[in-house]
Chains A and B, each alone.
Chain A
Amino acid sequence: MTQRNTSLARRMAQALVACAVAVSMAFCVGVALAPAGAQALTTNKATARPNEQGGDGVIGGENTRLTWEGTVDAGEQVESITLSLPEGASFDGSTTRITVLEGLNRVSVDGTATPAGDTLKVSFATPIPEGSLLRLEVTDMKFPEAGGDYAVGGSYVNQAGQTEALNDSPTVSVIANTPLQRVVTWLDGQAWVSAWNSNAFLGMFLKPQLIVTSLATLFPGWLLCLLIVIVAYPFAIALGLAFAFMKMSRHKPVRAIAIVYINVLRGTPLFLQIYIAFFGLPMLGVNINNTILGIVVMAINSSAYLAEIFRAGIESIPVGQYEAAASLGMNRSQTMVSIILPQTVRRVIPTVTSDFIMSYKDTSLLSSVGVMELMMFAKNLTTVSGNITPYMAAAIFYLIVTLPLSKVVGNIEKRLAHAEKGTGPRPKTTGEATENA
């Protein structure tokens, strides 16, 4: 209670400071001030609900909800109240909920709210009794588009019919409108958008407004996905190649290590490996940055698959190639580097690509351990909006990479196949004839 009294006292002091403003405001409303009227309806607070998509700011020019609270002092009753905001704000199209409380108990009071531009007049069917708390929740009002700190002022009419000025509320910080929000607002107003959204399926899975905000909100997550997989993959290839050679080694212990490594990693779900790395390591006191740890886990997981792909690729090269190299006097490593591996690359490109695509998609599993990647953003936005569209936007982001990649690799493969089969440009028959001669 003392807490409340001191805060009341502080607000009374604020009221004095704001007196000049309040007086001028009262004149704006166009009513005579009662002489030296004691403040009998004290403004407690004014807050606005954050309306920034995927953020916690209050954006001007967009619908938000203003909550205004005031206490009716002893000996006073309030017949009606007018809230006013600086020019540019709009109460038009808003709805108002009136709550009157005595302590924690609700007092039933009806009223009508009449919005008019930057003012809102609320008339009560029965006067608000003394000592009670009045709360007005104005849904779908707008703050000025320019942004800034705004105080709610206005006036009220007491039981004697006198109009008194309200002291200014603490200010509400409003940020300026963003282009993204403007697009969303524009979409809100389109008839085809409402028609589209009225279909239960389209409205839930492909809501245009949410597609726009999702694409913008998910973008950093997409970049992180790309970063993780692009950084991880070279390491995965190097590790994979190393383990492929180890598995083909002549020494049994080396082979055993490679076999265990490959089989354990391929035999357990990536999800489990992520959990072990992200929850196990911190318990050992090893604290690595989440993104780096994500890259490490992805690289290690991929390397096991790549090792098998490379081994199969290398073993698929006919023995004749080794013999031919040997007959030219090449040693084993020379044979490997200049004869076998170049041919292997050609053969493994399709499988390595599908593994790359798989790894890229598997970064989504990192969302479960708090890496702020694509799925994490999509999940958060879905929780906030109660709509599935952010997931569809995430699908678009995955496909942007995977579809062109499949296409490009298809082309490379075709070209390599041509080169291998020798269907590329060949010497003309005449040239061949001279060569033979």
Chain B
Amino acid sequence: MKKNARLAVVVACAMTALLAVAGLAGCSGSSTGSSASSSASTSSYTLVNAGKLTVESDLAYPPLESVNAQTSKPEGFTVDMLSAICSKMGIELNYLPAQKFDNIIPSIKQGGKADVGASSFTITDARKQEIDFTDSYMDSNQGIVTKADSSATTADALNVEGMKIAVQSGTTGEEWVQENLPKATCVPLDDTIGAMNGCEAGQYNAVVADLPVMSYMCKNSYTDLKVAKEIPTGEQYGIVVSKDNPGLTAAINKALQEIKADGTMDSLEKKWFGQTL
């Protein structure tokens, strides 16, 4: 009898602790942020930090988003674009420190940490089941990168037992390798820079990632690597917003329309890609 009573106390304690944690998690998800009624937008939305658009990104994807080596500040096409969007919305832009790419969507879905994820996310139906996407801001394709002197440069040559293809974990590039190069070993890494370093060092036979980034990296920092094959996939990038925050998606879409209409987008594309896309 005594034993049972003790057990009951232990169970009760455990349940209380669990509920308390669940309660806390629930709170942080719902009560943070304030309604941005001061914003020019008519639709209302919530922000994690009042007056600031808090952004999660992996910041290892130049020229789209990366960390400037001298200033340690985020820079890139997406950063400039978000800054233009924020100024249209009348709020500040606030980048969180770099996150792991595959943690960003779960984190936005969970809420409480950041408002949007902007890390060159391709709009896919599977991701759309988890979170909302804004309208697309850029088109993209995939690219296979190999060493400049490599002979195995085609999809057929790489789809061989023993070939190691480095990708960034959770990306459409990873999906492409799993689907199209089933015989090769797909090595998921935290970021693309690690994949490029490994390929340069000869650890991996190839890297598959978004073409604009691959071309930029091969041209600027990894000169003994080359884009061996362009894979037309016609992907579209969108900004990730929580499904609980449709007002924010609408407000960003509106601002996106505005910067496309007033030529800001074109000038940013010229600045980062040397041409309008």
Instruction: Please indicate whether A and B come from the same complex rather than being unrelated chains.
Output: yes
Question: Which of B105, B106, B139 touches A106 (beta carbons < 8 Å)?
Answer: B139
A204 within 8 A of B: yes
Q: Which residue of A lies closest to B25 (CB)?
A: A201
A133 within 8 A of B: yes
Within 8 A of B (CB), among A121-163: 133, 135, 137, 139-140
A50-B178, A199-B22 given; A387·B230 CB < 8 A: no
Q: Which residue of A lies closest to B104 (CB)?
A: A386
A87 within 8 A of B: no
B154 contacts A3, C-beta separation under 8 Å: yes
A140 contacts B234, C-beta separation under 8 Å: no
A267 within 8 A of B: no
B26 contacts A67, C-beta separation under 8 Å: no
What separation, in Å, do the CA atoms of A48 and B126 have in the docked complex?
A: 13
What distance in Å separates the Cβ of A199 from its nearest Cβ neighbour in chain B?
A: 6
Question: Which of A100, A133, A140 touches B125 (beta carbons < 8 Å)?
Answer: A140
B232 contacts A101, C-beta separation under 8 Å: yes
What separation, in Å, do the CA atoms of A200 and B21 have in the docked complex?
A: 11
B120 within 8 A of A: no
What distance in Å separates the Cβ of A109 from its nearest Cβ neighbour in chain B?
A: 10
What distance in Å separates the Cβ of B86 from its nearest Cβ neighbour in chain A?
A: 27
What separation, in Å, do the CA atoms of A114 and B175 have in the docked complex?
A: 25
Q: Which residue of A lies closest to B235 (CB)?
A: A99
Question: Which of B25, B102, B230 touches A383 (beta carbons < 8 Å)?
Answer: B102
User: Within 8 Å CB of A386, what residues of B?
Assistant: 102-103, 105-106, 170
User: Within 8 Å CB of A65, what residues of B?
Assistant: 125-126
A49 within 8 A of B: yes
A47 contacts B180, C-beta separation under 8 Å: yes
What separation, in Å, do the CA atoms of A289 and B256 have in the docked complex?
A: 56
A139 contacts B29, C-beta separation under 8 Å: no
User: Within 8 Å CB of A137, what residues of B?
Assistant: 124-125
A49-B175, A50-B179, A383-B102 given; A139·B22 CB < 8 A: no
B110 within 8 A of A: yes
B26 contacts A199, C-beta separation under 8 Å: yes
A415 within 8 A of B: no
B46 within 8 A of A: no
What distance in Å separates the Cβ of B130 from its nearest Cβ neighbour in chain A?
A: 8
Q: Mark A31-60, 1 if CB is under 8 A from B, else 0.
A: 000000000000001011110000010000
What separation, in Å, do the CA atoms of A386 and B109 have in the docked complex?
A: 11
A106 contacts B236, C-beta separation under 8 Å: yes
A135 contacts B178, C-beta separation under 8 Å: no
B169 within 8 A of A: yes
A190 within 8 A of B: no
What separation, in Å, do the CA atoms of A312 and B91 have in the docked complex?
A: 66
A418 within 8 A of B: no
Question: Which of B139, B178, B179 touches A105 (beta carbons < 8 Å)?
Answer: B139
Within 8 A of A (CB), among B68-106: 102-103, 105-106
Q: Mark B12-28, 1 if CB is under 8 A from A, else 0.
A: 00000000011001100
Q: Report how many residues on chain A are interfacial, defined by Cβ distance under 8 Å.
A: 31
B233 contacts A135, C-beta separation under 8 Å: yes
User: Within 8 Å CB of B235, what residues of A?
Assistant: 99
A200 contacts B232, C-beta separation under 8 Å: no
Q: Mark A65-78, 1 if CB is under 8 A from B, else 0.
A: 10100000000000
B111 within 8 A of A: yes
What distance in Å separates the Cβ of B118 from its nearest Cβ neighbour in chain A?
A: 17
Q: Mark A372-408, 1 if CB is under 8 A from B, else 0.
A: 0000000000010011000000000000000000000
Q: Which residue of B lies closest to A96 (CB)?
A: B125
A104 within 8 A of B: yes
Within 8 A of A (CB), among B166-190: 169-170, 175, 178-180, 182, 186, 188
User: Within 8 Å CB of A103, what residues of B?
Assistant: 232
User: Within 8 Å CB of B110, what residues of A?
Assistant: 200, 204
A204-B110, A386-B105 given; A95·B234 CB < 8 A: no
B141 within 8 A of A: yes
User: Within 8 Å CB of A105, what residues of B?
Assistant: 139
Q: Mark A1-43, 1 if CB is under 8 A from B, else 0.
A: 0010000000000000000000000000000000000000000
Tell me which of B103, B170, B186, B233 has the highest count of chain A C-beta atoms within 10 A of its own C-beta: B233
What separation, in Å, do the CA atoms of A386 and B175 have in the docked complex?
A: 15
User: Within 8 Å CB of A100, what residues of B?
Assistant: 234
A252 within 8 A of B: no
Q: Mark B128-144, 1 if CB is under 8 A from A, else 0.
A: 00000000000101000
User: Within 8 Å CB of B154, what residues of A?
Assistant: 3
B233 contacts A139, C-beta separation under 8 Å: no
A202 within 8 A of B: yes
A99-B233, A106-B234, A106-B236 given; A56·B125 CB < 8 A: no
User: Within 8 Å CB of B209, what residues of A?
Assistant: none
A97 within 8 A of B: yes
A67 contacts B234, C-beta separation under 8 Å: no
User: Within 8 Å CB of B25, what residues of A?
Assistant: 199-201, 204
What separation, in Å, do the CA atoms of A101 and B230 have in the docked complex?
A: 13
A100-B234, A199-B26, A383-B102 given; A56·B126 CB < 8 A: no
B251 within 8 A of A: no
What distance in Å separates the Cβ of A101 from its nearest Cβ neighbour in chain B?
A: 5
Q: List 27 A-B contacts (CB under 8 A).
A: A3-B154, A45-B180, A47-B179, A49-B175, A49-B179, A56-B178, A65-B125, A95-B125, A97-B124, A97-B125, A100-B234, A103-B232, A104-B141, A104-B230, A135-B233, A135-B234, A199-B22, A200-B25, A200-B26, A201-B21, A201-B25, A204-B25, A204-B110, A383-B169, A386-B103, A386-B106, A386-B170
**Extra inter-chain contacts (19) besides given A139-B124, A200-B25, A387-B106, CB under 8 Å:** A50-B178, A56-B178, A65-B126, A95-B125, A101-B234, A103-B232, A104-B230, A105-B139, A106-B236, A135-B233, A135-B234, A137-B125, A200-B26, A200-B110, A201-B21, A204-B106, A383-B188, A386-B103, A386-B105
Which A-B residue pairs are the 5 nearest by beta carbons? Answer: A139-B125, A201-B25, A99-B234, A386-B106, A201-B22
| Residues in chain A within 8 A of chain B (CB atoms) | 3, 45, 47-50, 56, 65, 67, 95, 97, 99-101, 103-106, 133, 135, 137, 139-140, 199-202, 204, 383, 386-387
| Residues in chain B within 8 A of chain A (CB atoms) | 21-22, 25-26, 29, 102-103, 105-106, 110-111, 124-126, 139, 141, 154, 169-170, 175, 178-180, 182, 186, 188, 211, 230, 232-236
